[in-house]
Amino acid sequence: MSKRDVFGDELDTKAKTDFASLFEQSLGGVGKKLTTGDAFIGELLTINKEEAFISTSTPIDAMILTSELLDDEKNLKYKVGDRIEVVVVSTKGGEIRVAKKGSKKSNADLDSLEDAYDMELPVEGRVTEVCNGGFRVAVHNKTAFCPVSQMDYKVQDHQSYVDKKFDFIITQFDPKGRNLVVSRRKLLDQQKVENEGQFLESSKAGDIFSGMVSRIEKFGAFVRLENGVEGLVHISEVGWSRISDPSEVLHVGQNVTTKLLRSEEVDGRLKISLSIKQAGGEGDPWMQVPERFPLKSTHKGQVEKKEVYGLFVNLAPGITGLLPKSKWRDSVDHQMYETRKKGDSIEVQVDEILFEQRKISLGIPAEFDDQTWKSVTVKTGFSNSGLSGLADLVKKK
C-alpha cells in the first residue's frame, strides 16, 4: 500500500467522521421549524429532471434544484439515498427550498438580490439592531437599512422589531453590495390594497365584524378588522350613552364587535364606517322611552353634564334629558340644584318628550315644587283666588 493510499484512507476516515458528526447534529433538530439560513444534512429522496427532494427534520420535505447536484461537466454526482449538507434559502407558502452549502445560491449572491430589486420581489430579512433613523436588516448575508417610516405604519417600540424576521422590498440597490435600502411598508401597502378590494367585494352594510381598537382620536376610534382593513367608529357610534371622548369607554388593543354601516371609495381610498353600539343586539333604547318614561313620571338620574342653562341628567343607558335652570331657579330648593355636579344623583320629573328630536325636557317633582306663593295675599288686598275672580270678570266685560 502506498503512502498516498494510506493518507487518502485517513482523509476519507476523517471526512466520514466529520460528516457523521454533522449528521448527528442535524438529528438533534428533529421537530424544529426550519427558517432561512438554517443548515442541516438531509437524505436525497427523489431526483427528477428539474428538481429533487431532501428529507428534513420537519414533516415537510425540502426541494433543491437538480442543477445543484451536478458536477462541473453537468453530470449527476449524487443518487437517491445520499446525504448532503444544505442551507435553507426560502420557506414560503408551506414549501422549503434549499441549496447546497457553499453554492452561489446558498450564499444569496448579489445577482439574486438584483433580480429581486428589478422585479420588486419580496425578500426575507432579519432585523439585527436599531440604528440612527431606522433599523439594520440582514438580507441574504448582506446588511441593509430600513428607515423607521418604512418599517410599519406607526413604530412605537423600536426594540420590539429586533431579532424578528419580515418580508421586505428592496427600494435601493448598489451593484457593489453597499447601500442596500429595504421597505416593509411597501409590502404592507400592497397587502392593504388587496385586503380592501376583497372587503368591498365580500361585505355589505349590516355585516358584523370582530376587530381591535388600533387608535383613538377625539372624533372616534379606529378599529382594525380581522381581514386587516381599518374602519372608523365615530364618537356617536361608540355607545348609546353620550360621551365627550372615546377614551372614556375604549382603549387601544381592546377587542370589540362592530357593525358595518357603509364602505365607499373616496379619492382612491377606502372609507369604512363602523358602529359598536349597533352591534350589541339590544337595539335603540330610545324606542322604549314612551313606555319607560311616561309624562309626569318621576325618576332618579345622574348628572351627566352641567351647563349654565341647566343640567343634563342620564336616566338610563342612552337616555339623557335636560333639566333647564329656569325650572329650579324659583324653587325653594334651588340651592340644592345649583350645587349639583357631574356624577351626582338627582330626582327629576318627565315634563315633555320630543320623540322625533330625541329630546326629553325634565322638571322638578311636584313634591319639591313650592306652591305656597299661590296663597299669598298681595298688596291689592286680593288673594290669589280673588285675582283669579277678577280676571274672570275682566274677560266677561
pTM over 0.85: no
In this prediction, residues 113-117 reach a mean pLDDT of: 78
Rounded Cα distance between 39 and 56, Å, is 10
Residue pLDDT, tens place only, 365-390 = 875 554 444 444 444 444 444 444 44
Rounded Cα distance between 364 and 367, Å, is 8
Rounded Cα distance between 341 and 363, Å, is 17
Residue 135 pLDDT exceeds 90 = yes
Per-residue exposure over 5-41, b if at least 16 CB sit within 10 Å of its own CB, e if not: eeeeeeeeeeeeeeeeebeeebeeeeeeebebbbbbb
Closest to 53 in 3D by CA, of 86, 18, 7: 86
Which CATH superfamily is 205-279 part of?
Nucleic acid-binding proteins (2.40.50.140)
Residues forming CATH 2.40.50.140 domain(s) in the chain: 3-100, 110-188, 205-279, 285-372
Of 85-99, 132-146, 191-205, 296-310, where does mean pLDDT reach its minimum? 85-99
What is 3-100's CATH topology?
A: OB fold (Dihydrolipoamide Acetyltransferase, E2P) (2.40.50)
CATH dotted code for 110-188: 2.40.50.140
- pLDDT number for residue 3: 44
Residue 326 pLDDT exceeds 90 = no
User: 147 with 186: CB under 8 angstroms?
Assistant: no
Confidence bin at 66 (pLDDT 50/70/90):
confident
Residue pLDDT, tens place only, 208-217 = 888 899 889 9
Residue pLDDT, tens place only, 151-188 = 998 888 899 999 999 999 999 988 766 788 999 999 88
Cβ contacts of 235 within 8 Å, gap of 6 or more = 218, 219, 220, 243, 245, 246
What is 285-372's CATH topology?
A: OB fold (Dihydrolipoamide Acetyltransferase, E2P) (2.40.50)
